[in-house]
Chains A and B, each alone.
Chain A
């Protein structure tokens, strides 16, 4: 038998050869110091590689992972709870309504259909009236603006210029304070504050 190839050598070390092949290798090794040395070298390396030290796992590792799992589950569960409570309340309300009406569920459904149609008609009429109102406002608005401006000019004519300028500055400060205050309260409410 010729000297061992690496595939045969490693399969011999892995006990992956057929018994007759393994026996043949052993006969060869008995008479071949070079192959014997190669086998021993790789056996030692295998042993060293198979006993590499463990990396240290922190004592609280499992608790930490479970904590992350629980934290991830709680928001999902609370969302589901809100949905369930909402649907449950809706169901109970509908049931109570049916019982209190003293009518059959089918009759109520038919009634609901009729009522829905009437409601739709009412909404349609309301939208029409709203558009009429807007058209009227568009017609009236220029006259209204003219009257407003006329009134303002008469007021300004009856006051000295200094008082008017002071009032304008006061109004400007008031408006800026309102706008800035609203902006700050919006940022704080949404947790995107300037400093935070």
Chain B
């Protein structure tokens, strides 16, 4: 019994073991996402627990035409947004253009410095990306994490956020460029 829909149906019939299997399947991706959104592992663990508690309570309203993973990420995203609002962390709406400086979203003229990719080993590059993520606007960070850490498709992200696929793609590209710029600034 591994199919998500079967696990949901079994849970709704009162099989607690089935929900435990759902938890085991999604605990890692949800923690990876929430952890990078809130920045603290302990807090992220609490939020991940809350996602599953909410999911269990709302399971009767889950519609099987949607993927369980995107439904869980949507619950997690709402929790994270509530957290940002309570902490008064600015969340830039995704339908607004995000430009940190004048050159916007186009290729830069390369300078003589070696690129970050050539300067650092892969491990060091990962650590630097993780740090640069914290500097991204929250809404862009969320899409970047979903795309690269959780491996969600653009269509899944668009479904979760209720945005056109093209908008989501554009924002992910912007997030990548901002990360690259932060890395270049550090070298």
Partner of B49, one of A41, A48, A68: A68
Asked if A196 is at the interface (CB within 8 A of a chain B CB), the reply is: no
**Contacting pair B16 A70 (CB below 8 A):** yes
Asked if A49 is at the interface (CB within 8 A of a chain B CB), the reply is: yes
Q: Which residues on the B side are within 8 Å of A54 (C-beta)? A: 28, 31-32
Q: Which residues on the A side are within 8 Å of B45 (C-beta)? A: 57-58, 61
Partner of B173, one of A6, A44, A63, A68: A6
Asked if B24 is at the interface (CB within 8 A of a chain A CB), the reply is: yes
Asked if A21 is at the interface (CB within 8 A of a chain B CB), the reply is: no
With A and B bound together, what is the CA distance between A58 and B31 in angstroms? 11
Known: A3-B107, A48-B122, A66-B19. A41 touches B130 (CB 8 A): no
Known: A51-B126, A52-B130. A62 touches B110 (CB 8 A): no
Binds B, one of A32-40, A111-119, A133-141: A32-40
Partner of A55, one of B31, B116, B122: B31
Asked if B91 is at the interface (CB within 8 A of a chain A CB), the reply is: no
Chain A min CB distance to B127 (Å):
9
Binds A, one of B63-71, B82-90, B94-102, B143-151: B143-151
Partner of A62, one of B24, B106, B129, B179: B24
Known: A4-B107, A49-B179, A70-B16. A65 touches B41 (CB 8 A): no
Closest to B33 in A: A55
From residue 157 to 185 of chain B, which have CB atoms closer than 8 A to chain A? 169-170, 172-173, 176-177, 179-180, 183
Q: Which residues on the B side are within 8 Å of A14 (C-beta)? A: 169
Q: Which residues on the B side are within 8 Å of A110 (C-beta)? A: none
With A and B bound together, what is the CA distance between A55 and B105 in angstroms? 32
Known: A49-B144, A65-B53, A69-B16. A57 touches B31 (CB 8 A): yes
Chain A binding surface, main DSSP class: helix
Q: How many residues of A contact B (CB 8 A)?
A: 42
Asked if B76 is at the interface (CB within 8 A of a chain A CB), the reply is: no
**Contacting pair A48 B107 (CB below 8 A):** no
Q: Which residues on the A side are within 8 Å of B179 (C-beta)? A: 45, 49
Known: A57-B31, A66-B16. A52 touches B173 (CB 8 A): no
Q: Which residues on the A side are within 8 Å of B117 (C-beta)? A: 40-41, 44-45
Chain A: residues with CB nearer than 8 A to chain B? 3-7, 9-11, 14, 16, 34-35, 37-38, 40-42, 44-58, 61-66, 68-70, 72
Known: A61-B49, A64-B49. 10 other contacts (CB 8 A): A11-B169, A34-B110, A41-B116, A45-B117, A45-B176, A48-B125, A55-B35, A61-B27, A65-B53, A69-B52
